[in-house]
Chain A
Amino acid sequence: MSLTETSSGLRHAVWVLRGNLVTATAAAGAILLALIAIFGPMLVPYDPVASDVPRALQPPSALHWAGTDQLGRDVFSRLIVATRLDLAIAVTAVSVSFVIGAVIGSLCGYVGGKLDRAIGRFVDVLMAFPLFVLAMAMVAALGNRVENIVIATAIINLPFYIRFARAEVNVRRNLGWVEAARACGDGHVSVVLRFLLPNVLPAMAVQMSLNLGWAILNAAGLSFIGLGVKPPPPEWGIMVAEGARFISTGRWWLVSFPGLALMLAVLCFNLLGDGLRDILDPRMRT
């Protein structure tokens, strides 16, 4: 790609962000989350795992912004520290899924034939299972550890990327400029790698951002039912699980704050995904 692209690309990104407040806020939110994930644990006011039982189950106050849980731990600090774990799981799983899915999907879409049909069958079988259930079963089978949550989440995300890449490549495969590339001397592999993938990636990047949100929900859900991450390290899903017992007696802060954190994180990534599409589609540039 020419040099003219990168500098005007940045300028365009700024133009879109300035024109679209929502995307800018989402982008800021995502950056903030990343920063919290990286630096949060060093800046929290309280030790997230130290119990202080006399101070258990206190509602939010000036001392404890989000109250304390049943072991007297500060909920706010645990919330901040949990960001790192949740984001790490989601980002790793989605990245792995994205790369593998994009390559497989593009090849299927371009080559077609037996390979396409075989992989198509595999994807269909995978998608025949309710994915959360599948993730549950995988973690159960592989063992109750964090790495297995990542693997399970990556696998259940694969079908989306494969299908998406395949569809996008299929649509573009017969376009005039792809034939023109071949007339200009590019072989099939070259066409896929140098032309189709870069045109397909923007759309998939949107998917990636949306999937990040879904992966976070997945990981939290798995932890909620007791799989994957085990206490005491804080994680949003576990925090909700532990707080669930106390909701019917009116201790709302144990569930609400982790729930709010989850919601905000997913919201940021969803909105960012929509905004990313505007930036990366060169046809929107004026």
Chain B
Amino acid sequence: MMTGQPVAKDLRQRLPASLELTLTALVIALIAAVPLGVLAALRPNSLIDHGVRLFCSLGVCVPTFVSGLLLIYVFYYLLGLAPDPTGRLDIFASVPPARTGFLMVDFLLAGDFEGWWAAARQLMLPAFTMALFVIAPLARITRASMLVSLGSDFVRTARSIGLSRWQIVVTYALRNAILPVITIAGIVFSTMLGANVLVEKVFSWPGVASYALDALLVSDYAPVQGFVLLMASIFVVVNLLVDVLYGIADPRATVA
């Protein structure tokens, strides 16, 4: 109603922005969390283990909007490294032809590396803020799962036949340990869709969440309903993907 366009069109226009943010954050989080969790499990009670556990305990306690704002303070105000934290792109920069709607992809497709770098810089802070929130649970589940895996009977068998350390840790322990991590990653994605609302507000990111939020505050409910339904559908799709992934990874899982 606000924009004079039907809600569906608005949502479709703004969806890529949110998705780009969430997916980048998830990738960053996984790249950080899984190795941390594995390392902590390989050296229990060491400095790195305590460090990871401390980080996990604290990580779940800090709300996304606070960490986002503090990151802005440190990287924008104090260090001047980050660009002005408003929106996806500097208002003076030119937007590439919209092929996918994902700026990172579109800039690459257009061969515009300067624009790509500008967009990437804008994306960094909000993506990191969201990633920070989920690194903690992901690292924790990786560590716990890895510990169980390393202490299991079949790893003992692997040791008893003299397999190399790499084979034991990766082929035997890690592949088994990663299964619950896949499930949790799916759940974590749901949390991130919710955290979208907060991060998009802090960084004025033009995604679906801030769209719904703005509508909400002026009591325009149609966008809000559309947003909720959209979020639910995305989550269902993601869950299906996770189930499929899990089914591939674990031969014991039967499709009900």
Contacts and interface: CB of A to CB of B under 8 A. Distances in A.
A and B touch in the complex (CB under 8 A): yes
Interface of A: 127-134, 136-137, 140-141, 213, 217, 220-221, 224-227, 237, 240-241, 243-244, 247-250, 252, 255-256, 258-259, 262-264, 266-267, 270-271
A130 B196 CA distance: 10
Interface of B: 57-58, 60-66, 69-70, 72-73, 76-77, 84-85, 190-191, 193-195, 197-198, 201-202, 209, 213, 216-217, 221, 224-225, 227-228, 231-232, 235-236, 239
Contact of A266 (B61, B190, B194, B221): B61
A136 B72 CA distance: 25
Contacts of A262: 61-63, 66
Q: Which 10 A-B pairs have the closest CB atoms?
A: A132-B194, A259-B66, A130-B194, A266-B61, A130-B193, A267-B61, A263-B61, A255-B69, A130-B190, A137-B228
B198 A221 contact: yes
7 contacts: A221-B198, A225-B201, A244-B69, A247-B69, A248-B77, A249-B77, A255-B69
Nearest to B227: A133
Interface centre among A141, A220, A221 (most CB of B within 10 A): A221
Chain B facing A: main interface SS: helix
B191 A130 contact: yes
B212 to A, nearest CB: 8
A129 B232 contact: yes
Nearest to B234: A130
B61 A130 contact: no
B58 A224 contact: no
A213 B69 contact: no
Interface centre among A141, A250, A256, A263 (most CB of B within 10 A): A263
Contact of A244 (B64, B194, B202, B224): B202
A140 B224 contact: yes
B193 A133 contact: yes
A247 B236 contact: no
Given A224-B65, A266-B60, A128 B197 contact: no
A171 B93 CA distance: 60
A270 B73 contact: no
A225 B236 CA distance: 26
Nearest to B66: A259
Given A133-B228, A140-B224, A224-B201, A271 B63 contact: no
Contacts of A255: 66, 69-70, 73
A140 B217 CA distance: 9
B57 A270 contact: yes
A263 B73 contact: no
Contact of B70 (A132, A137, A226, A259): A259
Given A130-B193, A262-B61, A266-B61, 17 more contacts: A130-B194, A133-B194, A137-B228, A140-B224, A213-B61, A217-B63, A221-B64, A224-B198, A240-B65, A240-B66, A244-B202, A248-B85, A258-B66, A262-B62, A262-B66, A263-B61, A263-B63
Given A128-B235, A134-B228, A224-B198, A247 B65 contact: no
Given A129-B228, A140-B224, A248 B60 contact: no
A130 B72 contact: no
Given A247-B73, A248-B76, A131 B235 contact: no
Contacts of A221: 63-65, 197-198
Contacts of A264: 61
B63 A220 contact: yes
Contacts of A227: 216
A162 to B, nearest CB: 16
A140 B58 contact: no
Contacts of B231: 129-130, 133
